[in-house]
Structure 1
Amino acid sequence: MDLSAYLGFVVVSAAEVATPGPSTLFLVNNALSIGPRRALGVLSGDLVAIALLGVLSVVGLSAILEAHPTVFLALRLAGAGYVLWLGWGCLRSPSVLSTGRPGTQAAGKTDMQLWLHSFGVGVSNHKAFLFFTALFPQFIPVGSGRPVLLLFVLIVVIVKFAVLGSYALSAREVRRIFARPEHARRGRTLSGFVLLAFGGLEHHPIRKHPVKAAVLLFCWLLGRRDVAIGSV
């Protein structure tokens, strides 16, 4: 496996996870009401759910590839289309997300109740299964075994913990940012263009430099005309 494949997978996963959704809003509300430390413990429910969906995706994908190796190309093309759809969805989604009033979800609930709620939020996300199935063929060579696929599942779990963990530790600031149209729009635009780039430029050399590509997109998004970066 080329290191660029791992880096590219991390960039795309981070772009998807960083886009505000049910998991993010649930975590931020918990962090504001019960504190970041307890909120991180509750987050483990969501992470377990995502890991479970990832393992199920690996089992299904491995079975298909072992029985029909030629299906890999079709899955890769379909996966690229799905990643493009995710990116387009980020660009078209509303700019402002309401996080609700702090404490409305966590007040009076035990840690176990919150953990089960977190697990439910994660496991009910039907897009997660599609995301795994669509994304793996984009970065994993033909013939890769289950250990490689499971490693990518672990990477997603780690990335999600890192991104949402940072949200929990800065929950008040994150909530304020979510409420501001311009900040929410920039975040969604960045995520959208990262997903569009990696979904649409499947054979483009820029995919071999994912970190540099992310920097280019970030600078373009912020309109930093004074920042010059060499050609990829």
Structure 2
Amino acid sequence: MRMLLPKLPRWAKPPLRRTRNIIKALSHYGKGRYCPVCGKSSRRFKPFGRVVREDAQCAHCGALERHRFVWLFFQKNTNIFDGKPKKILHVAPEPCFESIFKDRLGSNYLTADLFNPRAMIKMDICDIQYPDRSFDVIYCSHVLEHVLDDKRAMREFFRVLNSNGWAILNVPISSEKTFEDPSIVDPKERLKAFGQEDHVRHYGPDYVERLRDSGFTVETTKVADLASSDEAVRMGLTQASGEIYYCTK
């Protein structure tokens, strides 16, 4: 079906995509897994990843392990959905979150990305063109490992965060200690060194210290802090969910 789509007239593509999505959803029909992002159940989650992780991606909304975990955190540990006005910056918006945030958060919700044209504004997080204390909430996940000067980006997030606001700045932890080498610029060499062509470092647990050096107070949350073992299995919260880095001033 994917091979057929580019050859069809434009009017025929939407119904074919809908049919494809229905078929995919039916193939995962069941109650063994539950996605807290879209609120739908499935027999199992879909495989996902360069190194394929079984039981990883929601067949309905596309949420991965880390998305389901942070959504649980949003609901249980933050005020993001309390109905009170707050200016929210969402960097590199994930499709599984974007439409829900737009619907529930309204005009105070802003998406930003340096390259993605779907984002509301183009933004270099190392040089954020907003005044100090512009945002009540900042959410940026799995972005800083792509940024050469991540410490500058962290300082910029600290600068534009309101004094009583909060930020979630998540990254993958894939090393015992943070490793980076700015001299590695070739994509193939970055793939060897960092596991992905557009990554510029491996983060270790000392990532917390980088955030604190930028001025933040940091609290970390693990899956076991929010979900029982049975809940974690049902929602597919695994080691790939990572940790949540909740930052305040």
Compute the TM-score of the two structures, normalised by the length of structure 1: 0.26
Which has a greater percent of helix? Answer: 1
Which one scores higher on RCO, CA 8 angstroms, separation ≥ 6? 1
Compute the TM-score of the two structures, normalised by the length of structure 2: 0.25
Q: Which has the larger Rg?
A: 2
